Amino acid sequence: MFSEQAAATAQGLLAPPSAEPPTFPRVAVSGYSDCSQPFQLGERSFARQYAHIYAVRLAGMRPGLERRARSRWGNDVVLRRLSELQEGEKCCVVGTLFKSMQLQPSILQEISEEHNLVPQPPLPKYIQPSDELILEDELQRIKLEGAIDVQRLVTGTIVAVYGCEQDNGRFLVEDHCFADLPPPLPWSGPSSDRYVLLASGLGLGSVSGEALLSTQLLVDVVTGQLGAEGEQSCAAHITRVILAGNLLSQNTQSRDTINKAKYLTKKTQAASVEAVKMLDEILLQLCTSVPVDVMPGEFDPTNYTLPQQPLHRCMLPLASAYATLRLVTNPYQASLDGVRFLGTSGQNISDIFKYSSMDDYLEILEWTLLVGHISPTAPDTLGCYPFYKSDPFILTECPHVYFCGNAPHFQSKLLQGKEGQRVLLLTVPDFSATQTACLVNLHDLSCQPITFSSFGADSEDGDMELEH
Amino acid sequence: MADELYLENIDEFVTDHNRVVTYKWLSYTLGVHVNQAKQMLYDYVERKRKENSGAQLHVTYLVAGNLLQNGHFCHKVAVVREDKLEAMKSKLSTIASVHVYSIQKALLKDSSPLYNTDYDIVKTNLQHCSKFSAIRCAAAVPRTPPDAPQVPEPVQSPQRQRDPDAAINGHRVRAAKPPPQQHKGIMGMFAAKAAARPQDTPKEAKAEAKEAAGVSAANCKPPTKNTIMNNFFGKAAMNKLKANSVPEQPKEEKEVVKPSVAVAESESSPNTVAEKPGKKTESDRIQQKDKKSKTKRVDRSDDEEERDPENVKKKRKRIKQLLSDSSDEEADVPPSPTPEEERVPSPPPEPALKTELEPASTEVSAGGRKRKRKRVLKSRMFIDEEEGCMVTEKVYESESCTDSEDEFPKTKAPAPQEQAMLPTKREPKEERKNPKKGAAPASRANKQVSIMGFCQKK
């Protein structure tokens, strides 16, 4: 994207100093509106049980699923609740999936004394061939078998199954369907090239310093210090930077205070303190030049349960002095220049990855869009706030850009829906590992990864980059 | 030529100082646009190499462009050493930019010196880090202070902890935040004196004295006193301080007292002027000092801590000394003369302020009910007449600095009045003794009782 326009003046700075060099004004933000109010929690009370969230989820998605069922299996398809099932009758049931997995970590098993079990070490995937799917609705549950991919699906998905109940008490599935893509939003994108830079997993505070220069290069490109004139003028078209979580590294999470003796840790500071100071300086450099949205991630100092609340501005005294800094929730939804962005810091996708046979982050991302829910595994295996009025993770409108942060590689896909939806699916890679960020062009929903590298003790790493 | 100056500068940095000169570092150091810095570096390299082909000069370049990777184009930005420059350029299908990144004498093994140089120079120029950049953002303006939420009342105790900083800040943010500024100002005044004892800038003391006097004057009922204060300290400080609402004042007074207690050790003589209003009413509450002093001392400088054991006594003596100077009565013999003599104050403005301070102190003491914010869980036993039994209840009391005010609010009423009724020029000892008598049982429990308590003035 940048390269073609910038190529003309690429070598321009390999010359003696010329007249006053040009300064490019940053392209102004024409329209920004923050749509993440459903994810902002005010007063929080954890006194409720989690059953309510499933109830509202089912109630919220049932109408859409019944519509889909009718359009797929005919208008006269019989819609039944589980309590009304008759043996042998072909009907359609809408309910929540539950996958019973033997390997699923259970806190009750861990603390059970009669088993004398050592807690299970974390595995990359917890699926097993013996897993079973169970469909639940408001009152009953029934085991599923048949034309349904047990390995692929995860708990919490709302599904409509078509089949009949058998005499062994199980439901034989002939076909099933999900909520499919939500209705499209009208398109009112910009008429010229406007870019949004997405980066995640800056990983500050980690022991290794390799990614630090790359982070500095990223900041320099965005703020217009790096590059020849052509590149700088292209960089001036970057209207926003979104940092999608994991600004701090996982190393800052270790708590010596628990393991070590008190006298050894008395005067030590938490690793995250230094890392947050570094983050503040980096954000300050960015904020003086471009609007920045900062989403918290798994290792950031905010609450653990989804939706994660914004980082507090007192932690970032230098940067929060600027109005260009926006501390936002995870998940985050906003309308930038008429283009609707929706994304998370990746916890939802990586959780589904653990409990499903799907291996590709982009595939999982697309799947969450197709089932109409950002994070079906919450609250089962992913921490979630006990909602009871409505489930904010249900997708009601189809965003134009749907991203997830902290993916292992950069991947993108432009998805076209039947009702005219056009979504750019984007997995933003972990910057501390890949030194890659993403540039999205709002004009035509194209995107390009941007990689930074420096030279180290070993020779260049050009070809060792991302592979699909 | 004047333009050639930069060449000499770069030469000096690279060869003499043996620095790693990155374009960003040069841009900040010489105060030029980043692109100009890049061009300067290039120019220097070219000339140096032309003059002396064996020059000990290593250059790193920045190359950016499109790279075909895994079937899609990725924009690559890389810092490369000179020897790898051509290789990198050939890998890129389209080159977007090439320029000099840095010049240094030694061959760099890895890029950490580059990062460190840039980090250091940016750190020292954080406030205007986009000054020499090629992109200007119109939206990047600092938020106006009213946008920042006001510091609420409950935050006062942490505020007090931050007094040494607040003292300085209290000055600067005064215009921006009127309600908390008053706290900062007064607390800052007292706190800064303690902290600034080693530094003791007269300016600060004067400004603090201004604030203190402003406060006490603001507390004065009669407007004439305000004008006297105005004349003495200047209108500007007065107007700012008057902007505060009255309800703030009792709270402030309370805090005035508390920090002043801890600050009593301060030796700077001009400071005593400002401390006087607080001190006068303080004198009765000195016995409570140790408790509060400890909490206050946690975040004070070390030189205060070493005088912990003597603080209680010293403060008392000092105030006594002060007031005995100001009063016409005989001075009591202080138990420990030496520390006192160190700090014998003789502030010229003292007599002038006395008249202000007397009503100020009475005013302060009358409203001093709320001065102290320390809440202590205390057991209070009383006989319940109706039931005919003894009741012990644990209650959080607001303990203040004066002896008379460490009970329930109802007991405070007689005590301040007591003070108010005393003659204006009273002995410090007497002040101490009178409320001490009034609240002796409770106060004696946690105060160091002085032997002078037995001597009473008829």
Residues A130-187: tens digit of each pLDDT: 899 999 988 999 999 998 899 999 999 999 999 989 888 899 999 999 998 999 988 8
Contact residues on chain A for B75, CB-CB shorter than 8 A? 1-3, 439, 448-451
Question: Highest-confidence range of A11-25, A185-199, A207-221, B389-403, by mean pLDDT?
Answer: A185-199
Mean pLDDT of A321-342: 91
pLDDT of residue B1: 46
CB–CB of A14 and B99 under 8 A? yes
Mean pLDDT of B377-403: 76
Percent of chain A with pLDDT over 70: 92
Q: How far apart are CA A190 and CA A443, in angstroms?
A: 5
Query: Among A465, A12, A21, A26, which Cα is nearest to A237's?
Result: A26
Q: How far apart are CA B267 and CA B262, in angstroms?
A: 12
pLDDT of residue B271: 42
The alpha carbons of chain A give a radius of gyration, in whole angstroms, of 24
CA distances from A328 to A35, A398, B366 (A): 10, 20, 49
Question: Highest-confidence range of A171-185, B227-241, B340-354, by mean pLDDT?
Answer: A171-185
Task: Name the band, by pLDDT with cuts 50, 70 and 90, for residue B257.
Answer: very low
pLDDT of residue B397: 72
B 125-144 residues with CB below 8 A of A? 126, 128-130, 132-143
More confident residue, A350 or B242: A350
Residues A352-372: tens digit of each pLDDT: 999 999 999 999 999 999 999
Mean pLDDT of B32-43: 87
Contact residues on chain B for A437, CB-CB shorter than 8 A? none
Residues B56-102: tens digit of each pLDDT: 888 899 888 888 887 788 899 989 888 888 998 898 888 888 888 98
CB–CB of A213 and B70 under 8 A? no
CB–CB of B139 and A323 under 8 A? yes
CB–CB of A285 and B42 under 8 A? no
Contact B201, B270 (CB under 8 A): no
Contact residues on chain A for B100, CB-CB shorter than 8 A? 13-14
The three-point CA angle A13-A17-A20 to 5° equals 100
Contact residues on chain B for A29, CB-CB shorter than 8 A? 139
Percent of chain B with pLDDT over 70: 38
> Of the candidates A216, A228, A232, which has its C-beta nearest B98's C-beta?
A228
CB–CB of A3 and B94 under 8 A? yes
3-state secondary structure of B388: coil
Task: Name the band, by pLDDT with cuts 50, 70 and 90, for residue A62.
Answer: very high
Residues A225-240: tens digit of each pLDDT: 888 888 888 888 899 9
Mean pLDDT of chain A: 86
B 42-81 residues with CB below 8 A of A? 42-43, 46, 60, 62, 64-67, 69-70, 72-81
Query: Among B347, B381, B374, B179, which Cα is nearest to B279's?
Result: B347
pLDDT of residue A255: 67
3-state secondary structure of A276: helix
Mutate to test the interface with A, among B75, B80, B90, B165 (most CBs of A within 10 A): B75
Mean pLDDT of A38-52: 88
DSSP letters, A328-339, are --BSEEEEETTE
Q: Which chain A residue is nearest to residue B101, measuring alpha carbons? A: A226
Query: Among A224, A203, A209, A213, which Cα is nearest to A452's?
Result: A213
Give the type of residue at A99.
K
Percent of chain B with pLDDT over 90: 0
Residues paired with residue A426 on neighbouring β-strands, in sequence order: A403, A412
pLDDT of residue A174: 92
Contact residues on chain A for B98, CB-CB shorter than 8 A? 10-11, 13-14, 228
Q: How far apart are CA B228 and CA B217, in angstroms?
A: 9
Residue B378 sits at the chain A interface (C-beta within 8 Å): no
CA distances from B444 to A32, A165, B296, B382 (A): 65, 84, 21, 18
Strand duo B94-104 + B21-22: pairing: antiparallel
**Dihedrals φ, ψ of B297, to 5°?**
-70, -20
> Does residue B38 carry a pLDDT above 50?
yes
CB–CB of B24 and A225 under 8 A? yes
pLDDT of residue A295: 93
> Of the candidates B6, B99, B119, which has its C-beta nearest A228's C-beta?
B99
Residue B41 sits at the chain A interface (C-beta within 8 Å): no
> Does residue A461 carry a pLDDT above 50?
no
> Of the candidates A2, A285, A454, which has its C-beta nearest B96's C-beta?
A2
Min Cα separation A161/chain B (Å): 39
Mean pLDDT of B360-379: 57
DSSP annotation of B308 reads H
